[in-house]
């Protein structure tokens, strides 16, 4: 399949008025890329071949290289099978190996600050290392580089005793290049891992049914699958688990998996990697019963997170009464790219949905683009499609994303946020009747929310970017803040037919004060951002204000040639500026924002040196649209591409407006309501359309 899952899904999330349109059937048709042939398949049982070594009892110690085969179901009081050799293939042969059948472990008191010990509890299959005093195989030497280990074709399960704390179904942390494939792991003990592998491991077609509910210490980061560096986790099903689905090491790829954790503590992400580098997370479905999405932690870098479908909800737990349900969280990461993901964060009991949660430092150089973020609250206090916390995003790029919500588009946390730029992003309501606030700032730190910008962004369905909230009352809520909405001016500067490389532009305001400058590249192209208005809060007066900007004067000089433009920005502007020419200049983009049948459309026409006489000279506007007072507006009735020549005075420009077909009614709200009732998805591995009550 050439079209990846989430790129297709993004194209099927449409707007009618301000309602989100989601073509479930089209998504289901393409879901095979993630949803088929996942987890373990059918197991095979056979007689041992010549040369294979039988395993018919537990515990059993493998001390020589070779091929081993389990010949019956096994049960061990503690650990079951230990590997103390290189180049071992262990065929479970369709049988079930149980461990921890004779040792009962009580749930310990929860703690939140200390980390767990280095001891390893019992396991179904393990490389012995530093076991607890009561564990098996105590005398065997730890080897951190055992190559060539393969475990396949059967089930590992913890027994009635549930084993010691920090046990694991399969514990191969000391192996190098191990392969675990076509295996089912069933665990329910407190403080347990499902599968732990060392570096360069391949984990494929593994099903983990994790019914554990207790984590003594959330800093232990209990995971259904935990890898070391340079591993691959693919085509796996992770069902349940009290904290993390897949905890990835540096250089690891996590792809084409379904992960559905059922968390009981916080830090409960579907995929996480703490202080890890160059992790790839792509083409996964992370659809929690209870838990968060993807976490890029502090001191991590070089992550690629793309083409995932993330649908999460999170309830309060013993530690926190209110939770923030992160879809994708960037926390101190750098040089990472987040793109082509669809993220739906849904409120639950005590949960605040935050589809994009960002806390990075200056010069982090992250890129977040072409994603769809949806934050939906049902009878809860808040839902934020973008939530910024203790943030200085001056070195990061947030562009070409779509943010949906039925509550607040853009929230600055109590710890503040600075220098965030949203470029060419769309902010939309989930449903037309939603009462959506664009911006809220609850920072209490000094200068807690300054310098944020929204450039060339689209605000649809009645969302007003001037609507804002600054608390400002009381000593604990006194922080200044501001954000600016503006538009880009992109000019291709020429002197006749010659590119004016190095041409300089100086922008001044109506009082003649310099606003900004720019210099054209070798091809004569230059871009400047021009603010339209600024919303701010002043601590001394405890009042917010809106400052309108413009008109601007833009003087472009190349050698002895120069030209001056007078502009009042209301939309993105672009065009060719011939310094040898005269007269007016139309700056409405040749390909403006696309529209949709039955969805209200509005395009403000821009230019310099023009009058009020805007007209269509050749071609036609899309059916249902008219031109009046410098605005093309209306409700399109026909899909297609409509080309025409836009004219004003002696100036003219060819324009093409694309109108997409009418979409389907919104399904997000109903899907969220069903999800909160745990009615979807019912079982992993189902096609998406089977999980949705249409």
pLDDT value at residue 12: 33
- Mean pLDDT computed over 465-489: 77
Mean pLDDT of the chain: 83
- Distances, alpha carbon 455 to alpha carbons 324, 336, 504, in Å: 28, 22, 22
pLDDT value at residue 359: 87
CA dihedral 224, 230, 236, 237 (to 10 degrees): 30
DSSP letters spanning 475-507? GGG---EEEEEEEEEEEEEEETTEE-TT-EEEE
Q: Does 629 score more than 80 pLDDT?
A: yes
pLDDT value at residue 18: 30
pLDDT value at residue 486: 96
Q: Which domains are assigned to the chain?
A: 486-660 (2.60.40.10)
DSSP 202: E
Report residue 589: phi and psi, to 5°: -55, 145
User: Which pLDDT band holds residue 151 (cuts at 50, 70, 90)?
Assistant: very high
Strands 372-376 and 397-399: unpaired
Lowest mean pLDDT, pick from 2-11, 185-194, 265-274: 2-11
pLDDT value at residue 217: 80
Contact 228, 198 (CB under 8 A): yes
User: Which pLDDT band holds residue 687 (cuts at 50, 70, 90)?
Assistant: very low
- Mean pLDDT computed over 430-446: 80
- Distances, alpha carbon 146 to alpha carbons 117, 172, 272, in Å: 23, 9, 26
More confident residue, 111 or 79: 79
Token digits of residue 128:
């012995």
Q: Model confidence over 318-376: pLDDT tens digits? A: 777 667 889 999 998 999 999 999 999 988 776 788 999 998 887 889 999 999 999 98
CA dihedral 229, 235, 237, 238 (to 10 degrees): 10
pLDDT value at residue 394: 79
User: Which pLDDT band holds residue 460 (cuts at 50, 70, 90)?
Assistant: confident
- Mean pLDDT computed over 143-170: 84
Contact 151, 123 (CB under 8 A): no
């Amino acid at each position: 399949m050439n079209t990846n899952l989430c790129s297709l899904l993004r194209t099927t999330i449409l707007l009618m008025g301000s309602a989100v349109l989601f073509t479930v059937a089209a998504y289901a048709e393409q879901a095979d890329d993630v949803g088929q042939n996942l987890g373990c398949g059918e197991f095979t049982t056979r007689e041992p071949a010549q040369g294979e070594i039988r395993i018919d009892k537990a515990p059993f110690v493998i001390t020589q290289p070779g091929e081993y085969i389990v010949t019956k179901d096994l049960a061990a009081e503690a650990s079951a099978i230990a590997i103390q050799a290189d180049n071992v293939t262990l065929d479970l042969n369709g049988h079930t190996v149980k461990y921890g059948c004779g040792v009962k472990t009580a749930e310990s008191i929860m703690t939140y600050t200390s980390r767990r010990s280095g001891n390893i509890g019992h396991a179904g299959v393990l490389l012995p290392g530093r076991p607890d005093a009561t564990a098996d195989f105590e005398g065997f030497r730890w080897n951190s580089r055992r190559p060539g280990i393969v475990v396949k074709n059967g089930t590992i399960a913890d027994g009635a005793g549930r084993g010691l704390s920090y046990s694991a179904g399969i514990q191969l942390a000391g192996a190098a290049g191990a392969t675990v494939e076509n295996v089912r792991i069933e665990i329910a003990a407190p403080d347990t891992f499902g599968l732990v592998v060392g570096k360069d491991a391949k984990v494929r077609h593994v099903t983990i049914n994790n019914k554990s509910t207790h984590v003594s210490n959330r800093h232990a980061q209990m995971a259904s699958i935990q890898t070391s560096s340079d591993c691959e986790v693919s085509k796996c099903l992770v069902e349940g688990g009290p904290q993390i689905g897949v905890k990835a090491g540096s250089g690891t790829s996590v792809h084409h998996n379904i992960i559905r954790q059922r968390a009981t503590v916080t830090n409960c992400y579907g995929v996480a990697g703490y202080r890890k580098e160059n992790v790839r997370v792509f083409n996964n479905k992370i659809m929690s019963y209870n838990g968060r999405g993807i976490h890029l932690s502090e001191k991590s870098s070089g992550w690629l997170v793309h083409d995932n479908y993330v649908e999460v909800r999170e309830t309060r737990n013993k530690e926190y009464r209110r939770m923030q349900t992160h879809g994708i969280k960037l926390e101190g990461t750098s040089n990472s790219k987040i793109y082509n993901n669809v993220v739906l964060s849904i409120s639950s009991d005590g949960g605040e949905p935050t589809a994009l949660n960002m806390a990075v430092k200056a010069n982090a150089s992250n890129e977040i683009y072409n994603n769809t973020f949806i934050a939906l609250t049902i009878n809860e206090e808040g839902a934020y499609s973008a939530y910024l916390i203790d943030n200085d995003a001056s070195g990061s790029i947030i562009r070409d994303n779509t943010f949906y919500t039925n509550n607040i588009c853009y929230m600055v946390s109590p710890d503040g946020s600075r220098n965030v730029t949203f470029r060419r992003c769309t902010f939309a309501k989930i449903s037309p009747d939603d009462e959506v606030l664009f911006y809220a700032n609850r920072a209490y730190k000094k200068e807690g929310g300054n310098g944020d910008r929204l450039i060339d962004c689209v605000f649809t369905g009645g969302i007003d970017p001037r609507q804002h909230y600054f608390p400002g009352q009381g000593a604990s809520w006194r922080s200044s803040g501001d954000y600016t909405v503006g538009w880009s001016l992109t000019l291709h500067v020429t002197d006749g037919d010659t590119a004016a490389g190095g041409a300089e532009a100086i922008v001044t305001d109506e009082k003649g004060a310099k606003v900004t400058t720019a210099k054209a590249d070798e091809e004569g192209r230059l871009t400047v951002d021009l603010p339209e208005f600024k919303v701010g809060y002043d601590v001394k007066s405890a009042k917010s204000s809106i400052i309108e900007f413009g008109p601007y004067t833009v003087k472009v000089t190349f050698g002895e040639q120069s030209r001056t433009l007078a502009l009042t920005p209301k939309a993105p502007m672009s065009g060719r500026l011939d310094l040898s020419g005269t007269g007016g200049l139309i700056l409405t983009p040749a390909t403006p924002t696309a529209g949709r049948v039955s969805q209200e459309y509005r395009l403000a026409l821009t230019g310099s040196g023009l009058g009020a006489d805007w007209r269509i000279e050749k071609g036609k506007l899309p059916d249902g649209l008219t031109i009046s007072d410098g605005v093309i507006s209306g409700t399109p009735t026909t899909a297609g591409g409509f080309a025409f020549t836009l004219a004003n005075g002696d100036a003219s420009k060819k324009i093409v407006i694309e109108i997409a077909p009418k979409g389907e009614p919104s399904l997000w709200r109903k899907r969220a309501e069903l999800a909160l009732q745990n009615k979807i998805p019912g079982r992993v591995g189902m096609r998406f359309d089977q999980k949705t009550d249409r």
